[in-house]
Structure 1
Amino acid sequence: MKSITQRHQLILKKLEQTGHVNVQELSTQMKVSDVTIRKDLKLLEDKKLLFRTHGGGSKVNPYANDRPVAEKEQLHAEEKRLIAQAAADMIGHNDSIIIASGTTMLALARSIHAEKHLTVITSALNVALELSHHQHVEVLQLGGQLRQNSSSVMGPYAEQILADVSCSMLFMGVDGIDMEMGLTTTSLMEARLNQRMMTAAQVTVVMADSSKFGKRGLGKICALDQIQHIITDSGISPALVEMLEDKGINLTIVQQ
């Protein structure tokens, strides 16, 4: 049996490698009880060396904050631009796509090639306005309750329109990607709308800079095995890349 110092060193090493640790995996690896590992995590949290989460611990604060869209737009702007360019290259002529809300989705709208003939369904007001300048893009703006922090709409009216829609791809941003919790956002109503968007699309492409990994929002959108593709930046850890690929998720990693 390992000493408390050895356990703490192992926990912190694994945390540095993957950004997250799991109680059951640690207890099995170190041949101690779950209770012992939880006590270890509590001591390490008290020393401000990690954040405890449901079933484990995280290197960074896992709980995403809801911020105004203008503030979010300034965060990781270059990564979002590169992610958006990679997403735009996936869109073909005459495609019908759904673009959800968020600052990375606005970056996508700005990156869409002007000559492409597209039908775009979106909940985001800023995305619709950006695409309104493209003469070849037909935009269907969803209606509903306005969520000011994301400049988008949500609610039953938007969900009702999506019930009659079938598109090739959904491009979706998230507030958090957690290996256990899956994909989350800070709004329960937006999470529900994103679920409806996924049902209406054949392929779900998640666009998220590497800071979103290990984070959790209030509302769960879906499990990781329900999406097909993630576009992120080179800040993602190799351990996370391996875990995501093991789940059968296609990864596009843009280089800064």
Structure 2
Amino acid sequence: MSMILAELNAKGRVTVNELAEQLNVSKVTIRRDLDVLSRENKLIIVHGGGIKPNFTLYEAPYSDRNSVFIEEKQRVGMKAVELINDYDVIALGVGTTTIQIANHLFNKKNLTIITGCIQVLNSLIERKKSGYFTGKLIFLGGEIDTDQMFASGSMTIELLEKFHIDKAFIGANGYSIADGITTYDIDEGNFLKKMVQRSNKVHVVIDHSKIDVKSMYTYAEYNDIDCVICNIDPPIEWKEKLTSSGIDWVVAD
């Protein structure tokens, strides 16, 4: 089983067929070993094999995720609002943490806010109509993902390419030194990658469950951003690299 774990640590996932061929044993033997490792919480059984406990391939729909760690996400959103100044051109990415920025935005003047997330847009529209802030709202249209509630595709990216953004606030399904900033969806990842490139300052907004986690697609390296806003401190072993990379870690307590 040590060889299975070595393969798992190297790739993030293993398959029954590949392991059986590599180790020259039966598929029944591999499945039995995977069951043992699963009971020991060393992997998660998926169809055809197993994945690391901190490696996930699929994301629940937006509506199912919105209430998970809601208090932590609210604190992160409120802290992010403190970093927004009047007259800023800001971009808000996709996710259930970035919407908390929209939900708590107040007392700001003449903002230009760019987003491709439908739920974020809806929140911003209601708050602007209620007088919580003034300025412009720009929606980046494209093909709509009705599960995750965002626009994506070449039209979205081409439109984003035209903007010069002061500050971007992006979510992530995982943030780690080793694997960078990851998401489940390649289209979302390409959209967020472009947002990172078009922004003078990039903030990652995450709750503690995203720390040292990776999902399928890396859209930026850990040091491609300027600031992480989270509800807890970073892992101790990260602090030196964060400091040397000039990354601020802001705790929303």
The question of a shared fold, defined as TM-score above 0.5 by the shorter chain, is answered with yes
Shorter-chain TM-score: which interval?
0.7 to 0.9
1:157-196 to structure 2, matched below 5 A, reads 157-196=155-194
Paired AA for residue 121 in structure 2: A
Between 128-137 and 235-244, report the one with greater CA deviation. Answer: 235-244
What runs of 5+ residues in structure 1 fail to find an aligned partner? Answer: 1-21, 24-41, 53-57
What is the match of residue 116 of structure 1?
109
What is the match of residue 150 of structure 1?
148
What is the match of residue 69 of structure 2?
76
Q: When the two structures are superposed, what TM-score results if normalisation uses the length of structure 1? A: 0.75
| Cα distance in 1 for residues equivalent to 2:239 and 2:40 | 27
Q: 2:87 aligns with which of 61, 69, 94?
A: 94
Any idea what SS the aligned residue of 2:251 has? strand
| Cα distance in 2 for residues equivalent to 1:205 and 1:148 | 26
| Cα distance in 1 for residues equivalent to 2:108 and 2:232 | 30
Q: Is the 8 A contact 1:166 1:201 kept in 2?
A: yes
Q: How far apart are residue 238 of structure 1 and its match?
A: 3.0
| Cα distance in 2 for residues equivalent to 1:60 and 1:230 | 23
Any idea what SS the aligned residue of 1:117 has? strand
Provide closer, same or farther for how the CA distance between residues 170 and 81 of structure 1 changes in structure 2, counting only shifts above 3 A.
same
| Cα distance in 1 for residues equivalent to 2:204 and 2:71 | 17
Any idea what SS the aligned residue of 1:101 has? coil
Any idea what SS the aligned residue of 1:221 has? strand
Q: How far apart are residue 242 of structure 1 and its match?
A: 4.6
Q: When the two structures are superposed, what TM-score results if normalisation uses the length of structure 2? A: 0.76
Between 132-141 and 187-196, report the one with greater CA deviation. Answer: 132-141
Provide closer, same or farther for how the CA distance between residues 115 and 101 of structure 1 changes in structure 2, counting only shifts above 3 A.
same
What is the match of residue 58 of structure 2?
65
Number of aligned pairs?
211
Q: How far apart are residue 245 of structure 1 and its match?
A: 3.1
Paired AA for residue 176 in structure 1: G
Q: How far apart are residue 215 of structure 1 and its match?
A: 1.6
| Cα distance in 2 for residues equivalent to 1:151 and 1:157 | 16
How many percent identity over aligned positions?
21
Q: Is the 8 A contact 1:210 1:233 kept in 2?
A: yes
| Cα distance in 1 for residues equivalent to 2:97 and 2:38 | 35
What is the match of residue 242 of structure 2?
244
Q: How far apart are residue 243 of structure 1 and its match?
A: 4.2
Provide closer, same or farther for how the CA distance between residues 113 and 217 of structure 1 changes in structure 2, counting only shifts above 3 A.
same
What is the match of residue 253 of structure 1?
251
| Cα distance in 1 for residues equivalent to 2:58 and 2:104 | 27
How big is the alpha-carbon RMSD for the aligned residues of Structure 1 and Structure 2? 2.5
Could you list the per-position Cα deviations for residues 107-129 of structure 1 after superposition, in whole angstroms to 9, with x for gaps in the alignment? 11011114432100100111111
Q: How far apart are residue 236 of structure 1 and its match?
A: 4.5
Q: Is the 8 A contact 1:66 1:149 kept in 2?
A: no
Any idea what SS the aligned residue of 1:234 has? coil
